[in-house]
């Protein structure tokens, strides 16, 4: 059983599926395919979105596991059933000439020059978080700077938390973080805030600061406060901010997958149908690349569902090919 390419070069045969992205969605999709006795190769660049986090939370039975350990265990699961894991970057992916019976084919080119050939693709590239351009903010991303109350909320409970507003989504974020602390400050940071919302915040003892934010102050022990444009410092230990989330498209633009922006300008994602299907025959998308707000468990579940549907699609194509070859006068493609 091949578990890794010792030479860093992929084999030349056409595999049933190539999975682009080896996070929770990609690995779970590959697991479903490998357990269905499909030949599957996962290509992963090794830069997961949650790498800065200390642990994965809200994942039943594995709450608190480190992101690195979760992925290590997931890779071993895929390998155990014959799936291959390839460390590398995809530089191009595009449809190729279909086989007989209009069975889709794809070529996937890797940074090292290797080329993979596949019948189906699962895109699980994840997303990138874009933070507001506030000095001192990015250096604490994943520790003192958080975005999700379900991912990190328990770990920052009862701390002095500041919400750095970026738009309407920040209002909802503030109400969720208010459940976790009694000391919450909402920095409007140039965004609008109507009187009804201000009244709702006041009813929940959320302090509103309209003065623009100049910088996030910190020491070697973490965030200490938020410095305003007028020089005042508001002591804080944690900053919560809604990031702009954009699906990773590096190397896969040749697939021409349609994309869309969700409401409130929160980012950009791939457009998918049932089980992650796309308008490009033979291509599925799963995880944060399609669902910007999915936690690890939801992303993994989406990958598993996409993997099952890919297998079903392949089974139908295999049956069509077998039927065609069994007819009198048929030639083998």
Q: Which two tokens stand for residue 289?
A: 């690349």
Q: Select from 200, 217, 241 the last residue of a domain.
A: 241
CB 185 within 8 A of CB 162: yes
Residues 113 and 194 in one domain: no
Among 209, 241, 273, the domain boundary falls at 241
Same domain, 72 and 56: yes
Q: Are 115 and 67 a contacting pair, CB within 8 Å?
A: no
Q: Is 31 in the same domain as 69?
A: yes
Residues 278, 137 within the same domain: no
Mutual angle of helices 169-178 and 195-203, in 10-degree steps: 10
Q: What is the pLDDT along the chain (333 residues), one digit of tens a residue?
A: 333 433 344 556 899 999 999 999 999 999 999 999 999 999 999 988 888 888 999 999 999 999 999 999 999 999 999 999 999 999 999 999 877 667 999 999 999 889 999 999 999 999 999 999 999 999 999 899 999 999 999 999 999 999 999 999 999 999 999 999 999 999 999 998 999 999 999 999 999 999 999 999 999 889 999 999 999 999 999 999 999 999 999 999 999 999 999 877 789 999 999 999 999 999 999 999 999 999 999 999 999 999 999 999 999 999 999 998 888 876 655
Buried b (16+ CB within 10 A) or exposed e, 191-209: eebeeebeeebeeeebebb
Integer Cα distance of 31 and 29 in angstroms: 5
Give dist(CA 80, CA 63) in Å, integer. Answer: 24
Assess if residue 8 is contained within a domain: no
Q: Are 23 and 54 part of one and the same domain?
A: yes
Encode burial over 297-333: b for 16+ CB neighbours within 10 A, e otherwise. bbbbbbbbbbbbbbbebbeebeeebeeeeeeeeeeee
DSSP assignment of 220-242, as one string? TTEEEEEEETTS-EEE-SEEEE-
pTM exceeding 0.85: yes
Q: Which tokens is 288 given?
A: 């944060």
Q: How many residues does the chain have?
A: 333
Pairwise CA distance, residues 32 & 299, whole Å: 14
Task: Assess whether 147 and 72 both reside in one domain.
Answer: no
How many CA atoms within 13 Å lie on the side-chain side of 121?
Answer: 31
Q: Do 262 and 120 fall into the same domain?
A: yes
The domain in which residue 106 lies consists of: 14-128+244-326
* CATH code at position 54: 3.50.50.60
CA distance 254 to 93: 6
Q: Is residue 192 part of a domain?
A: yes
* Same-domain status, 77 and 160: no
DSSP assignment of 70-82: HHHHHHHHHHHTT
* Domain termination site, one of 241, 264, 282: 241
Cα angle for residues 12, 18, 21 (degrees, 5° grid): 125
């Amino acid at each position: 059983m091949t578990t890794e390419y010792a030479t860093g070069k992929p084999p030349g045969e056409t595999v049933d599926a190539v999975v682009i992205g080896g996070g929770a969605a990609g690995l779970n999709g590959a697991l479903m395919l490998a357990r269905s006795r499909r030949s599957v190769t996962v290509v992963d660049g090794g830069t997961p979105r949650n790498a800065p986090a200390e642990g994965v939370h809200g994942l039943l039975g594995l709450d608190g596991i480190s992101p690195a350990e979760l992925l290590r265990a997931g890779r071993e699961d895929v390998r155990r059933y014959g799936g291959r894991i390839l460390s590398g970057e995809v530089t191009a992916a595009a449809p190729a000439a279909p086989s007989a019976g209009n069975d889709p084919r794809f070529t996937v080119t890797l940074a090292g020059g290797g080329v993979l050939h596949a019948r189906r693709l699962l895109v699980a590239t994840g997303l990138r978080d874009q933070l507001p351009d506030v000095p001192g903010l990015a250096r604490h991303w994943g520790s003192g700077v958080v975005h999700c109350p379900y991912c990190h909320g328990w770990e920052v409970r009862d701390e002095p938390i500041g919400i750095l507003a970026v738009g309407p989504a920040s209002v909802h974020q503030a109400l969720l973080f208010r459940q976790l602390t009694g000391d919450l400050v909402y920095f409007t940071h140039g965004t609008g805030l109507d009187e009804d919302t201000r009244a709702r915040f006041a009813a929940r003892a959320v302090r509103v600061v309209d003065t623009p934010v100049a910088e996030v102050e910190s020491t070697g022990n973490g965030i200490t406060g938020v410095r305003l444009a007028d020089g005042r410092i508001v002591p804080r230990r944690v900053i919560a901010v809604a990031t702009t989330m954009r699906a990773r498209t590096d190397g896969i633009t040749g697939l021409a997958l349609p994309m869309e922006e969700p409401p409130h300008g929160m980012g950009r994602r791939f457009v998918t149908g049932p089980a992650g299907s796309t308008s490009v025959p033979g291509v599925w998308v799963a995880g944060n690349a399609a669902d910007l707000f999915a936690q690890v468990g939801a992303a993994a579940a989406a990958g598993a569902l996409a993997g099952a549907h890919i297998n079903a699609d392949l089974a139908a194509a295999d049956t069509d090919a077998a039927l065609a070859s069994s007819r009198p006068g048929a030639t083998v493609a």
